[in-house]
Chains A and B, each alone.
Chain A
């Protein structure tokens, strides 16, 4: 049995210790907002927070986060400026990558409250969006913190 805390709720899970955290969250705990995309830490769809830091849950063994505080998309309040900005800018298209995008963006803003485009690119380039919503993601992050949007690849 491995103990972990997800969105403030304590869970005891009976899985092999090398089971990726992603599948514990999705299949055992039943929170499906965290997505599977590549299984190799290449796309970021599985991004969650561990002790406030963004990590890729698809390559994180559940044993490595035993006893730690894990936050998933379901644990980010609806009133969070990032979620509100995502709605205001109509960011999602297919939507599959967006929980990972939002988790990466909220982790960024927790350490850098006024990121410029370079800081946004650095924090967000690990999260792939096949629909190409990047321009709106950038705009929404600026909206969330009240900084002006300039634009694209520099």
Chain B
């Protein structure tokens, strides 16, 4: 076993101080050691986010989980800007669980909704500026001059008149004795030297040399490894467990029933897997034993025949439809999708009589910590949760019931030893918490000028929020906002409009999946508007533009994408071009995709030109990376992704039958950022929604075949293009 691995070394909370009008709990520094590293002596901790050591080290404590989206770089950059330090010199530390680290708006510690930069910008800027002012004041005090005669630059305070300078480390002890300023002065954006530049990611070197520590890499003394025999059908219960054979497998210690199923706890992962193979369980499969995707689709279609709960309505869509010059009806369908992050879910827990330690990569620390408190009976402050790097999140590690943490805590409690629970890839693909499957019925009518007079969109899908702590805030009048986002608030100028919703029966565990409802609604909205444009015999770009007159930012993104893509210019033989634009998480993304189709019906996406307006931004390099990432993620779903059920069982199990795109399928992505003074928008998710419709629209432009069902598999493409 390797040595003790602890990323967040600071375990105890101390005093509270007031900063920027809100109460911030300061972090005390009682030693503790990271693997092979002597911690710097940090004496100046002006707030919960910054510590400065006498050795000039600057540590930024980040309250968001790094899952690839770049928060361990973007958030320290905000501090670096105001604190006047080179971001490359910053040490990053994962925040412990404490109220100081709650989401600035949502009241819990969580990473999601593409909200990190948006929610933290002001608070971190103030934290950095406040620390800088205190360092300047400390220097002024030491030199017996006025603070106004001093300035901060690259980790030093300078007194211009005398040419004296002191490093932050030299000033740390003195600054620590000062009170934080009542008011902080933030820099003017025109003076920014860090924000807005493509600063290299701070976590890259560790991720390139193999030292970056993820949850699955944690090893602590005496730790055992568990895999869980999980129900074959969602909701099934283990009635009888025959554990003799499993417990005879060399290395297996014990078989323990837990909420999630039956944990096989062993000395190693291979032994745990062998033990699970030998385990025999009789299940009561419960009400979902007959779940079948084909029948479920019929049920959804039946529900769609009746009016649903109204999400948005204006005008009189039924009358307008009757009076329309042209009418079009369509059904759009999307499957369940699994997040399938490359690092399987895992959690290490060490339950002791008077404390509980947890090591994991999670997006929702507060809920996980509270779940552990409930299981152990310990007060929350006796639970220490350390957040490690997440080998992909995409929403999968923000679970309202904290199941992967509960599994480890229950197993450790039962064994009286530290236990690491590891999910296999089968567990992950079978394990639920999917993006819901969507059934959409649409109808639209065009007026004499070819413009839409009526638009009706009925959505049938499961609610993500129902039955969770988020229900109250997210479900209103029978409508889950995450089911209709991007559809009910369509920006297109249609005078008579209805979006209504049927909440499909619960059962299959569903969850936010990168871009949540937008991952489905953008495909429907942006494909259907394309259908309308073609029905009206108009250019799909110009048609959108005309209907978006009241949305200059959407038009701006469209125009930029079109200009860079060479919209309207000739393409090589056999290629088609499609466009889509969608707003999500406060940002607007337009994409133009160029595709061809192979003889076997395989869609090749050669190029995606992407224009993004995310308002004021921190790091354009990360924006580019997130657009590339969102496009790859969206393409996997557009071309391949589907979770289906037969006899209550998930039919997929690993990357061979739930493929994600590979190197040879990755298009050339060109990202262009709109220069904007608007308020910051999200960046982790908004790249996903437009790509599926842009590709479907390109396929239509190329072949005349309209694919309204995802994924656009070879079979579906061949059937639609008449080559099957």
Contact = CB atoms under 8 A, between A and B. Distances in A.
B270 A23 contact: yes
Interface in B258-274: 268-270
Interface stretch (B7-15, B156-164, B276-284, B663-671): B663-671
A79 to B, nearest CB: 11
Contact of A135 (B205, B605, B666): B666
B569 interface: no
Given A23-B268, A125-B664, A132-B628, A90 B209 contact: no
Interface in B590-612: 604-607
Interface in B202-249: 203-214, 216-217, 219, 225
Interface residues of A, number: 63
B663 A125 contact: yes
A146 to B, nearest CB: 19
Contact of B341 (A27, A96, A122, A153): A96
Interface string A73-114: 110001000010011001111111111001000000000000
B550 interface: no
Contact of A94 (B341, B660, B667, B668): B341
A1 interface: no
Contacts of B424: 39
A116 B526 CA distance: 36
Contacts of B476: none
Interface string A125-154: 111111111111110000000000011111
A132 B203 contact: no
Contact of B217 (A32, A42, A152): A32
Contacts of B68: 92-95, 131
B662 to A, nearest CB: 4
A128 B655 contact: yes
A74 B604 CA distance: 36
B391 interface: yes
A112 B416 CA distance: 53
A93 B655 contact: no
Nearest to A95: B207
Contacts of B344: 36-37
A153 B667 contact: yes
Contacts of A93: 68-70, 625, 629
Contacts of B666: 132, 134-135, 138, 152-153
A40 B629 contact: no
Contacts of A16: 250, 270
B434 to A, nearest CB: 16
A44 B632 CA distance: 18
B425 interface: yes
Given A35-B343, A138-B663, A153-B664, A42 B655 contact: yes
A64 to B, nearest CB: 15
Interface string B395-414: 00000000000000000000
B37 interface: no
Nearest to A58: B425
A43 interface: yes
B1 interface: yes
Nearest to B69: A93
Residue of A37, A73, A99 with most chain B CB atoms under a 10 A cut-off:
A37
B110 interface: no
B392 interface: yes
Interface in B344-386: 344
A43 B204 contact: no
A128 B341 CA distance: 10
B662 A128 contact: yes
Nearest to A94: B68
B342 interface: yes
A124 interface: yes
Given A87-B200, A131-B68, A72 B210 contact: yes
Contact of B208 (A32, A102, A136, A151): A102
Given A37-B425, A94-B342, A151-B607, A127 B210 contact: no
Given A96-B214, A131-B632, A90 B660 contact: no
A39 B664 contact: no
A51 to B, nearest CB: 20
Contacts of A127: 663
A19 interface: yes
Given A39-B425, A131-B632, A136-B628, A33 B654 contact: no
Interface in B48-76: 66-70
A130 B208 contact: no
B340 interface: yes
A152 B607 contact: yes
Contacts of A33: 209-211
B419 to A, nearest CB: 14
A32 B660 CA distance: 24
A135 B250 contact: no
A92 B207 CA distance: 7
Given A30-B219, A128-B662, A92 B201 contact: yes
B390 A94 contact: yes
A152 B213 contact: no
Interface in B662-685: 662-669
Contacts of B625: 90, 93, 133, 136
A46 B665 CA distance: 21
B188 interface: no
Contacts of A40: 425, 654-656
B147 to A, nearest CB: 38
A64 B662 CA distance: 29
A92 B663 contact: no
A97 B207 CA distance: 9
B477 interface: no
Interface string B411-450: 0000000000010110000000000000000000000000
24 contacts: A20-B270, A32-B2, A33-B211, A34-B210, A38-B655, A40-B425, A86-B204, A87-B200, A93-B70, A95-B68, A96-B392, A98-B207, A120-B663, A129-B342, A130-B660, A131-B68, A132-B635, A132-B666, A134-B632, A134-B666, A153-B604, A153-B606, A153-B666, A154-B606
Pairs A-B, 9 closest by C-beta atoms: A132-B632, A33-B210, A96-B391, A152-B668, A94-B68, A93-B68, A95-B207, A30-B2, A151-B668
Given A132-B666, A133-B625, 19 more contacts: A23-B269, A26-B217, A35-B214, A40-B655, A42-B425, A42-B654, A45-B342, A93-B68, A94-B66, A94-B67, A94-B342, A94-B343, A98-B207, A128-B655, A130-B340, A130-B392, A137-B663, A153-B667, A154-B606
Interface of A: 15-16, 19-20, 23, 26-28, 30-40, 42-43, 45, 72-74, 78, 83, 86-87, 90-99, 102, 120-122, 124-138, 150-154
